[in-house]
Amino acid sequence: MVANSGGGLTDAGGGPVRHIPVLLSEVLEALAPAPGKVILDGTFGAGGYTSAMLAAGADVIALDRDPTAIAAGQAIVEAHAGHLKLIQSQFSQLADHAPEGGLDGIVLDIGVSSMQIDEAERGFSFNKSGPLDMRMSASGVSAADVVNRAKLADLIRIFVFLGEEKQAPRIAHAIEKRRAEAPFVTTRDLAGLIEIVTPRKAKDKIHPATRVFQALRIFVNDELGELAQALFAAERALKPGGRLVVVTFHSLEDRIVKKFFADRSGRAVGSRHMPIVHERPATFEPIGKSMVSASDAEAEANPRARSAKLRAGVRTSAPAEAADLSIFDLPNLASLGKLGG
């Protein structure tokens, strides 16, 4: 589940792109992999970060929720016998796979991979005709389930909060009308309707279906909830001095990571209207700049890196805090469990 997609709102979802790890040198500088260190790659994908960390002499525990990525990665496992464990797992469960003494580093690269986009049968791309699926784990509720079953108000909220789609009401009403006649089955079913309802203008930089497809992908895979839980898990799994490096690709993800590091920085609790209540011990200290983005050269060579943002912190010896999701102010959306077939 590596996020080499360039994340946010580009037409990168339309065509094949060679797998290129985003911000690789910056990730390695922040992680500092070396012999004797154990680092967890929570988003294995095609193994770009993992391979680089292995080359630096580190032992790697790599996770991916996508069974296709796990199968494709066996060659890397065999080539680095004894130094790489590849496990099918959601990265929110990463603490379950950490060694007893803790981890020296964790890297999370958030989003959908170029491999998933390039496979029409996965249903991630609006430019490829395939099943309206979008499930990274190949199980559970699909995008078709959401589009065909969610209430009108829930569709609007999903498109607004997760896709930042200004035409959400118009698109959701059109979906409701169309699905009463026939269910949505393929990616082109949905993309074609959106193209009619909100036709592309000459000044538009992205396809009219981009934001809706992004919103559905994030919702189906609970990407924001997974990221939030993964950050809490990383806090528990890292040893003192361990490093957490997170690469995001759009504002929804980056906001969560930014809020997490700010909350864990030990800053005093209070506001300009109220006195300071207390100071909390920091569980993370920043590494370098608060945010690192791709260089102009990398962005030109790899368009999917244009929106990438890296944030990193070093774990202190302070005890992990409670996993309080309220610090992220996540939107209250429909329950995935009620939308299954």
Residue list, annotated binding site: 47-49, 64, 91, 109, 116
Query: Binding site membership for S-adenosyl-L-methionine: which residues?
Result: 47-49, 64, 91, 109, 116
Q: What is the DSSP letter of 168?
A: H
Strands 238-248 and 103-109: parallel
Spatial separation of the C-alpha atoms in residues 317 and 219, rounded to whole Å: 35
Sheet strands (E) in the chain: 38-41, 59-64, 84-88, 103-109, 238-248, 284-286, 292-293, 309-315
DSSP assignments along 58-124, one per residue = -EEEEEES-HHHHHHTHHHHHHTTTTEEEEE--GGGGGGGS-TT-EEEEEEE-S--HHHHH-GGG--
| Cβ neighbours for 66, distance < 8 A, ≥ 6 positions apart | 1, 88, 113, 116, 136, 137, 138
Length of the chain: 341
Contact 70, 45 (CB under 8 A): no
Distance CA 117, CA 126 (A): 9
40 in helix, strand or coil? strand
- Return d(Cα 47, Cα 226) in angstroms, integer: 20
Which pairing describes strands 238-248 and 59-64: parallel, antiparallel, or unpaired? Answer: unpaired
Q: What is the DSSP letter of 267?
A: P
